Copies of this chain bind each other. A is one copy, B any other.
Amino acid sequence: MATLKDVAERAEVTVTTVSRVINNRGYISEQTRKKVFEVMKELNYQPNELARSLSKQRTNTIGIIVPHIVHPYFAKLISNLENAAANKGYKILLCNSKAKNEKELEYIEMCKSNRVSGIVLCSRNVDAAEMKNLEIPVITIERNLEAGTVGIECDNYQGGRLATEHLISCGCRNLLHISGIKNENMPADARAEGFTAVCGAHGVKHKVIQTTSRIYSTLDYHQYIRQAIEEAPGVDGIFASSDLIAAQTIQICAEMNIRIPEKIRLVGFDDVDIAKLTTPTITTIRQPVREMAEWAVEFIERSLNGEALPEQFKLPVSLVKRNST
């Protein structure tokens, strides 16, 4: 492959001049600039980003660590992060931790080795202590981590409230909340709190059920949902902690011959594509994923500029009414 030097020789200038053209520094005549660009095209030259990064001591790479890629929420998140990053000239190093602690750590090391500008951590929490001497900004999304990282999350509590209030306003009086993973100290736990609070305030019968991390790793909640419904006779409203769970709930209800929304009303969470692909479509709480992604990239940039960052950054959610309620 052509190098800076090749370009310089061919254009009959010095490497310094070519470098000036590429980096837009110092004085360069329009003529020289043109000539250099011509030669670059001729030689099919592409500056070696490795060398540049090494020299400049920065990479414009953002590492993303997620526990799943096919999970529609993370797919959406990744997509939005890639987009936000690309808009600011960053590229994405994608890591799938498969919700395993050791893989997560490995990937963090990997990101570090590659001198990423920042890490967006969407995977479950490794020991926060591990993060301490990282020397790289870490932004978490919907994860608790504390140790000097920025935590971006949506207003989960409010989301729980909105969903529950909506169910109650639809006439439901016996609610079930199928929640995310137990014992993981996740921001999403607040969804259950919002749920419980509203049910309590309205004096509505309610029950919260939590999945295990074993289920999370396969993303197959069916058996679990069936059991939950069977053990909650008379339920007339379900608040699922993700659209994925909600979609599976629709299937179980179909199997059990329970009509949605006639017999049971259902609200999901996330507002990912799948909420629009089921029959009926899913009423859900919309996470502002695009904004969350944009802020993640923004915070990485700010951190690089030495600006102070918030410990926590919470974005508002909203209810999207569809056909499951």
Residues of A within 8 A of B (CB): 1, 44, 46-51, 53-54, 59, 64, 68-70, 72, 75-76, 78-79, 82-83, 86, 91-96, 109-110, 112-115, 133, 135, 219, 244, 247-248, 250-251, 254, 272-274, 277-281
Contact = CB atoms under 8 A, between A and B. Distances in A.
A70 B79 contact: yes
A278 B51 CA distance: 49
Nearest to A50: B54
B96 A93 contact: no
A69 B78 contact: yes
A105 to B, nearest CB: 12
A51 B248 CA distance: 48
21 contacts: A47-B113, A48-B113, A50-B50, A50-B53, A68-B79, A69-B78, A69-B79, A70-B273, A72-B75, A82-B94, A82-B96, A83-B96, A91-B114, A92-B94, A93-B93, A219-B273, A251-B277, A251-B279, A274-B274, A277-B277, A277-B278
Contacts of A70: 72, 75-76, 79, 272-273
In the A-B complex, list the 5 residue pairs whose CB atoms are closest, starting with the nearest: A69-B79, A75-B75, A94-B94, A49-B113, A254-B279
A51 B281 CA distance: 51
A51 B54 contact: yes
A94 B279 CA distance: 32
Given A44-B133, A112-B46, A250-B279, A92 B93 contact: yes
Contacts of A94: 64, 78, 82, 92-94
Nearest to A281: B251
